[in-house]
Amino acid sequence: MGLTFTVQIRILATALPAIAIILTSLRLYYRASRRHLGWDDAWAASAIFCAFFLTAGAWTRSDIPGVGPFNHSVRVRILGYYMLQVAFTCVLWVSRLSILFSIIRLIPTMMRLRIVANICAFAFGFMWIGLVILKLVVCETNTEWKSRKGVQCVLGEAVASVEIATDFLADLALVLLPLRLLWRISLPPGRRALLIGIFSASILTTIASIVHCVYVFSPNRNAEGIWAHVLASTCMMVANLAVLVTWLLRSLGYSGGSEPTTGMRTPGVSDGSAAKGTGGSNLTTLRFHSSNPIVLTTLDQGSTTRWDNSTDVDQKTTPSFTDTAAGETGKSGAAYAV
């Protein structure tokens, strides 16, 4: 005898978010221990908050009288559905914003690509709020679902089409932005493949989203509910991938790229960073395709900066990525720490 749908959905709604919450907690612990917390971590922490409501909504909606454990009334189960639907949308877009802000941390403020990334952040927020409002309007316009046994709103083709479009655009941006940033970086093939693979993992979210939207179009409400939990948890896990892979490699003793090296320079860019403890000046010099260098100094050495206004930073250069401890070159803004 197979498991009933109520049992299946409760298992999925508990196990998958639990795994995602554990991974997110590990990510926050790692970042906090290195004092590298940022806006991307704040969005990741918000995803944990939303995931709890997602699980609670699933349990409340499936609490059919006679099944329990609380034997909720239809009214409470309707509220549970709304909590489930809103939390589901929030988990998706909060996780995407976490990925996007991780990418923004990589982009120097001097590059026009950072402006594009910030515009994407506003677009993500607009799509997030728009989807929540659209779903609430659809469910409140046709209220027949509230009197049915399953207590699940039929969102219909309009909502499914909007979800597919927004999911595709968001995931495409999350893949193209880091690829554009890494395009001119001189990296060993293995390291380049690793970074591209990490940031391209958003494709997994797109695949899960397509499957979920297929069931939104269909009359199979049970499959729609199952894939909603798969999609939300997948998005949360992908958001933590870059940080957790970095932590894993560091724990295994692979330090490639964790300290300034000549192997990670951009063509036409010279790195004059001095290693900590060597007695040298803790100065980072980025030399572009211009006769004048840009000199960045750490906060403890002053804020003197000089540049050549004629240098086309966005078209000609991309900085080397280094992962440094707090208080070193990360303070100058010339380095990114995962």
Give the CATH number of the domain where residue 37 resides.
Answer: 1.20.1070
Report how many domains make up the chain: 2
State the burial class of residue 303 (Cβ atoms within 10 Å of its Cβ: 0-12, 13-18, 19+): exposed
Domain boundary among 224, 251, 278: 251
Helix (H), strand (E) at residue 174: helix 156-182
Domain boundary among 198, 230, 251: 251
- Looking at the structure, tell me whether residues 141 and 223 fall in a common domain: yes
Cα–Cα distance between 29 and 121 in angstroms, integer?
Answer: 25
50, 18, 110, 171: which is closest to 333 by C-alpha? 110
pLDDT tens string 50-79? 999 999 988 888 887 766 677 778 888 899
Domain boundary among 227, 251, 275: 251
- Looking at the structure, tell me whether residues 179 and 292 fall in a common domain: no
- Looking at the structure, tell me whether residues 117 and 186 fall in a common domain: yes
- Looking at the structure, tell me whether residues 195 and 263 fall in a common domain: no
Asked whether the predicted pLDDT for residue 199 surpasses 90, the reply is no
- Looking at the structure, tell me whether residues 137 and 19 fall in a common domain: yes
- Looking at the structure, tell me whether residues 39 and 166 fall in a common domain: yes
pLDDT tens string 127-181? 999 999 999 999 998 888 888 877 888 888 888 889 889 988 998 898 888 888 7
- Looking at the structure, tell me whether residues 185 and 268 fall in a common domain: no
Report the b/e string of 46-75 with b at 16+ CB within 10 A.
bbbebbebbbebbbbbbbbeeeeeeebeee
Pairwise pLDDT comparison (299 vs 23), residue with the higher score: 23
Residue 95 pLDDT: 93
User: Domain containing 30: what range?
Assistant: 5-251
Q: What is the mean pLDDT of residues 101-105?
A: 88
- Looking at the structure, tell me whether residues 134 and 223 fall in a common domain: yes
Q: Give the model's confidence band at 305: pLDDT under 50 very low, under 70 low, under 90 confident, else very high.
A: very low
Residue 2 pLDDT: 62
Q: What is the mean pLDDT of residues 211-228?
A: 83
- At residue 61's C-alpha, the angle toward residues 64 and 160, to 5°, is 130
Q: What is the mean pLDDT of residues 301-326?
A: 42
- Give percent above pLDDT 90 in the chain: 27
Cα–Cα distance between 155 and 134 in angstroms, integer?
Answer: 9
Residue 201 pLDDT: 78
- Looking at the structure, tell me whether residues 144 and 189 fall in a common domain: yes
- Looking at the structure, tell me whether residues 288 and 173 fall in a common domain: no
Residue 97 pLDDT: 94
Residue 300 pLDDT: 52
Q: What is the mean pLDDT of residues 36-59?
A: 92
Cα–Cα distance between 170 and 291 in angstroms, integer?
Answer: 39
Residue 107 pLDDT: 81
- Looking at the structure, tell me whether residues 145 and 236 fall in a common domain: yes
- Looking at the structure, tell me whether residues 89 and 215 fall in a common domain: yes
Residue 265 has phi, psi (to 5 degrees) of: -90, 145
pLDDT tens string 15-26? 999 999 999 999
Pairwise pLDDT comparison (87 vs 225), residue with the higher score: 87
